[in-house]
Structure 1
C-alpha cells in the first residue's frame, strides 16, 4: 500500500474529541465556516502504511495566508480543552 509512516501528532476536534486518521475530510468539524483541527502530541508511538485513500485529492499543502496576532489570539476561545 505504501511506505510506513509514524504519527507525529494527534488530530483533535475543537470540542476536544480525537479525530481518527482513518476518517474522511467531512469528519473534520466546521467552526466559523472553516474546517478546524488541533494538533496534540501523540499519546503513544504508532505507525501505518502511508497509501493514498483519496487518489483524486491533491496532497500538497498550500499556505493561503498567515494569521495576524489578534486573529491568532481569538481561535483558542472557539476550542475546548482536550478531554
Structure 2
C-alpha cells in the first residue's frame, strides 16, 4: 500500500518492533532509537501485544518505498544474534 497507492487506507499491525535491549521501538521514531550492537541496529519482530491499527499510505508521492530481502541468515547466525538480545519488556 505504501509503494504506489495515492490515498490512505486502514492497516493492522502484524508485529511489535523490539530493540536488542528489550525495549519497544515505535514506528514513528528515528533510526537512532535502535541500539547499535556489533555495528548494526538489530530489530526483533515480536507478536503484537494487542491489536492496533492506523491509516497507512504513501505520504510522499515522489518517494517510492521498497524492501529487498538480501538473504536469509543461517540458523547458526540467527542463534548467535538471539544471544545478544533481551526479552521484550512489556
Note whether the superposition's TM-score is higher than 0.5. Answer: yes
Give the structure 1 partner of residue 25 of structure 2.
Answer: 19
Bigger CA radius of gyration: 2
Distance, in Å, in 2 between the alignment partners of 1:20 and 1:50 is 15
Give the structure 2 partner of residue 4 of structure 1.
Answer: 10
Give the unaligned 5+ runs of structure 2: 1-6
Q: Deviations along 1:14-49, whole A, 9 cap, x unmatched?
A: 111011111123322222112211011111111111
Of 47, 63, 67, the residue aligned with 1:61 is 67
Distance, in Å, in 2 between the alignment partners of 1:43 and 1:25 is 22
RMSD: 2.1
Instruction: Kindly tell me the number of residue pairs found equivalent between the two proteins.
Output: 83
TM-score by length of 1: 0.81
Distance, in Å, in 1 between the alignment partners of 2:51 and 2:75 is 33
SS of the residue 2:83 aligns to: helix
